[in-house]
């Protein structure tokens, strides 16, 4: 094991982008197009790392048809439990459409349907991210793969002025970048659950921002699990629309719709098996299904399972705030976090503005990553330009708190075993279905007691001596903070809405038709967001009740 040294890489740039999933890539492209010098650092590799690279993205890509777009907004608003902001949804429609059309110009091989028309509403993960990498590279962006960021740097006034981290393929030496502004695009947090491609997403950016006082929003909308074959982690859900579900003896389970999803989760939570088979897929469609989503079929083929013929056992794998919606609260149209010089894009930011209380996985998250990335990159470039000269190096202050400072005299550096134990402790509170999918005030309190105690221990945890443990310790701290924000917000939302299910509070309560902000690291604070949802006239409750569609109001108990 190599000791991380102070000698390493030192860089200056206008805009520093942390994270190289789609949000980071689009942010880098946009900042470069605005004339900024850009450095992008990813924990893994820009092109393979993150949720979109493995999973692929269906997109909220709608043609320029006013009524179609308006209908899509109204639909998502109802689905999202009326916490959305119509203006942001409309902006996302416009921006996604514009950028995806540019992606086509750059050569993304979109398919054509039988009439010869291009279909641009779906992207295959590896192809999408390989193309984005090429575009980022050609935009003159300096790409740093395997350069996880550990913390932000500020100047004497607290303005974000860069970031620092480790070079994990260069003997775990250090890197430090001085920058006029920083875009966080580090993805959501899936708690090292192993879900398809998500172990890089541990909420590091949320922790870095919170260390500077940034606020979060929507953290209660974090109880999202994906369906995977029991032997694997492949949480590709789209094809499962053709699935029927069975118990162990092959008896069909009533698993339609919202109620069905809950039934499956309850069975699995109780340790009773659920099997799936795509027997509702017409034979004529099967080949095109395989071509559309090879990453759904690949693991099954490798395991020798033909999902059209044979029922395979399922499990639910936790996807946290990747397919949940909570994240950093945004204050401006260009995705500023409220910490001067710090912008956020993609899953690290709250997606409530566009998906509300519902999961954005399946079309909105991908569109949000493209749009918010574009805006945040532009915002950061403007901020850096207006700011002018970078602060002198000796004035830079590291903003990281936990797990980064040398052990005090008499103390010992953090060990791998201690860090692994932290991870296990957090996972025990957040992964189980009966803790997180089905929430109650009692269970949330119990979990919070454990997590608060854990945070108390971590708050002044010294750094490890080897880089790999040091990184994992920061990830573990980020996960602990994340879990506490999630459960604190979940306790405060005394109702069920969207993906947030309170078994002790079934049903939606009108007094909670607003977003919840949570902030802090030691002491957590939850309050109602003074900025209210902005809904469409069509989507108002009165209008929907008048139209006889009150079904969205009722929650399944």
Partner 1 sequence: MIELVSSQRCIGCDKCVHVCPTNVFDRGADGIPVIARQDDCQTCFMCEAYCPVDALFVAPTTHPQPADAPLRDESRLAGSDLLGSYRARIGWGRGRTPGARFAVGPELPGATPATPTTTTLTATAPADSATPTPHPKGTTQ
Residues numbered 172 to 231 that lie near partner 1 (CB under 8 A) are 194, 196-200, 229, 231
Q: Is 80 near ligand FAD (CB under 6 A)? A: no
Q: Is 319 near partner 1 (CB under 8 A)? A: no
Nearest to 529 by CA among 73, 82, 74, 83: 83
Residues in region 295-314 near partner 1 by CB under 8 A: 295, 297-303
Total of residues contacting ligand FAD (CB under 6 A): 44
Structural contact between residues 468 and 150, judged by C-beta atoms closer than 8 angstroms: no
Q: Which residue stretches of 176-331 are H helix?
A: 204-210, 257-269, 286-292, 294-302, 320-323
Structural contact between residues 524 and 490, judged by C-beta atoms closer than 8 angstroms: no
- Please identify which residue in the block is written with the tokens 């029991």: 230
- Helix 467-492 and helix 416-430, axial crossing angle in degrees, nearest 10: 20
From ligand FAD, partner 1, none, interface partner of 187 (C-beta below 5 to 8 A by class): ligand FAD
Q: Is 162 near ligand FAD (CB under 6 A)? A: no
Q: Is 364 near ligand FAD (CB under 6 A)? A: yes
Neighbouring C-beta atoms of residue 409, cutoff 10 Å: 5
Q: Which residue stretches of 145-269 are H helix?
A: 204-210, 257-269
- Tokens coding 503: 């078994």
Q: Determine the interface stretch with partner 1 among 23-31, 103-111, 319-327, 384-392 (rule: CB under 8 A).
A: 103-111
Residue selected from 31, 52, 292, 524 as contacting partner 1 according to rule CB under 8 A? 292
Question: What is 76-107 written as a DSSP string?
Answer: HHHHTTT--BHHHHHHHHHHHHHHHHHHHHTT
Q: Is 66 near partner 1 (CB under 8 A)? A: no
Residue selected from 4, 148, 229, 378 as contacting ligand FAD according to rule CB under 6 A? 148
Minimum Å gap between C-beta 445 and ligand FAD is 30
Neighbouring C-beta atoms of residue 283, cutoff 10 Å: 7
Total of residues contacting partner 1 (CB under 8 A): 95
* 301/110 Cα distance (integer angstroms): 25
Q: Is 117 near partner 1 (CB under 8 A)? A: yes
Residues in region 51-70 near ligand FAD by CB under 6 A: 51-52, 55, 57-59
Residue selected from 176, 235, 325, 402 as contacting ligand FAD according to rule CB under 6 A? 235
From partner 1, ligand FAD, none, interface partner of 491 (C-beta below 5 to 8 A by class): none
Q: How far apart are the first and last CA of the chain?
A: 53
Nearest to 443 by CA among 482, 486, 497, 379: 486
Question: What is 508-547 written as a DSSP string?
Answer: --GGG-S-EEEE-SSS-EEEE-SS--B--STTSHHHHHHT
Q: Is 480 near ligand FAD (CB under 6 A)? A: no
Residue selected from 265, 289, 479, 490 as contacting partner 1 according to rule CB under 8 A? 289
Minimum Å gap between C-beta 488 and partner 1 is 22
Q: Is 169 near partner 1 (CB under 8 A)? A: yes
Phi/psi of residue 369, nearest 5 degrees: -60, -45
Nearer to ligand FAD, 52 or 311 (CB): 52
Minimum Å gap between C-beta 192 and ligand FAD is 12
Q: Determine the interface stretch with partner 1 among 30-38, 46-54, 429-437, 496-504 (rule: CB under 8 A).
A: 46-54
Nearer to partner 1, 61 or 487 (CB): 61
Q: Is 424 near partner 1 (CB under 8 A)? A: no
Question: What is 381-417 written as a DSSP string?
Answer: HHHHHHH-SPPPGGG-EE---TT-SPPPTT--PPPHH
Nearer to ligand FAD, 41 or 141 (CB): 41
Any bridge partners for residue 312, and if so which? 276
Q: Is 124 near ligand FAD (CB under 6 A)? A: no
Minimum Å gap between C-beta 28 and ligand FAD is 11
- Tokens coding 99: 């950028």
From ligand FAD, partner 1, none, interface partner of 236 (C-beta below 5 to 8 A by class): ligand FAD
- Helix 22-33 and helix 364-387, axial crossing angle in degrees, nearest 10: 40
* 381/36 Cα distance (integer angstroms): 6
Q: Determine the interface stretch with ligand FAD among 35-43, 262-270, 297-305, 449-457 (rule: CB under 6 A).
A: 35-43
Q: Is 47 near partner 1 (CB under 8 A)? A: yes
Q: Is 8 near ligand FAD (CB under 6 A)? A: no
Q: Is 18 near ligand FAD (CB under 6 A)? A: yes
* 106/136 Cα distance (integer angstroms): 12
Residue 18, helix vs strand vs coil: strand
Site residues for ligand FAD per CB under 6 A: 18-24, 41-44, 49-52, 55, 57-59, 148-149, 185-187, 196, 198, 200-201, 204, 226, 235-236, 319, 322-323, 346-347, 361-366, 369
């Amino acid at each position: 094991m190599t000791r991380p040294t102070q000698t390493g890489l030192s860089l200056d740039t206008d805009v520093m982008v942390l994270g190289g999933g789609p949000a980071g890539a689009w942010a880098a492209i946009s900042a470069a197009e605005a004339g900024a010098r850009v450095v992008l650092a990813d924990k893994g590799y820009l092109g393979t790392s993150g949720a979109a690279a493995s999973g692929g993205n269906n997109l909220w890509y709608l043609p320029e048809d006013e009524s179609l777009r308006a209908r899509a907004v109204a639909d998502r608003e109802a689905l999202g439990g009326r916490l959305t902001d119509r203006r942001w949804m409309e902006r996302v429609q416009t921006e996604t459409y514009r950028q995806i059309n540019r992606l086509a110009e750059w050569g993304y091989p979109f398919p054509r349907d039988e009439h010869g028309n291009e279909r641009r509403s779906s992207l295959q993960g590896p192809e999408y991210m390989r193309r984005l990498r090429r575009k980022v590279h050609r935009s003159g962006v300096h790409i740093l793969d395997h350069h996880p960021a550990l913390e932000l740097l500020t100047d004497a006034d607290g303005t974000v002025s860069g970031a620092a981290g480790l070079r994990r393929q260069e003997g775990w030496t250090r890197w430090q970048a001085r920058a006029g502004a920083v875009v966080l695009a580090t993805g959501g947090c899936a708690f090292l659950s192993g879900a398809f491609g998500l172990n890089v997403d541990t909420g590091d950016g949320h922790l870095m921002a919170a260390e500077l006082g940034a606020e979060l929003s929507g953290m209660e909308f974090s109880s999202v699990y994906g369906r995977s074959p029991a032997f694997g982690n492949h949480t590709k859900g789209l094809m499962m629309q053709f699935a029927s579900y069975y118990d162990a003896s092959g008896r069909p389970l009533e698993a339609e719709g919202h109620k069905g999803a809950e039934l499956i989760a309850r069975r699995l939570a109780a340790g009773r098996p659920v099997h799936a088979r795509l027997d509702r897929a017409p034979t004529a469609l099967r080949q095109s299904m395989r071509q559309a989503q090879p990453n759904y079929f690949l693991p099954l083929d490798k395991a020798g399972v033909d999902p059209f013929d044979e029922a395979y056992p399922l499990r639910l794998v936790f996807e946290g705030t990747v397919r949940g919606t909570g994240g950093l609260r945004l204050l401006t149209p260009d995705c500023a976090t409220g910490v001067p010089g710090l912008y956020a894009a993609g899953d690290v930011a709250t997606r409530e503005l566009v998906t509300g209380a519902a999961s954005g996985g399946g079309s909105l998250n991908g569109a949000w990553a493209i749009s918010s990335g574009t805006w945040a990159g532009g915002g950061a470039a403007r901020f850096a330009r207006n700011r002018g000269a970078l602060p002198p190096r000796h004035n830079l202050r590291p903003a990281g708190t936990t797990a980064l400072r040398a052990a005090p005299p008499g103390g010992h550096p953090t060990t791998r075993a201690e860090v692994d134990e932290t991870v296990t402790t957090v996972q025990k509170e957040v992964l189980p279905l009966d803790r997180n999918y089905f929430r109650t005030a009692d269970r949330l309190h119990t979990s919070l007691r454990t997590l608060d105690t854990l945070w108390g221990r971590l708050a002044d945890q010294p750094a490890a001596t080897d880089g790999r443990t040091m990184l994992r310790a920061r990830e573990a701290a980020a996960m602990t903070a994340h879990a506490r924000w999630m459960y604190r917000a979940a306790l405060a939302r005394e109702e069920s809405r969207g993906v947030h299910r309170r078994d002790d509070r079934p049903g939606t309560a009108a007094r909670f038709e607003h977003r919840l902000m949570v902030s802090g690291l030691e002491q957590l604070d939850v309050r109602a967001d003074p900025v209210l949802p902005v809904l469409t006239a069509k989507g108002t409750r009165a209008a929907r009740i008048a139209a006889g569609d009150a079904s969205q109001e009722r929650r399944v108990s």
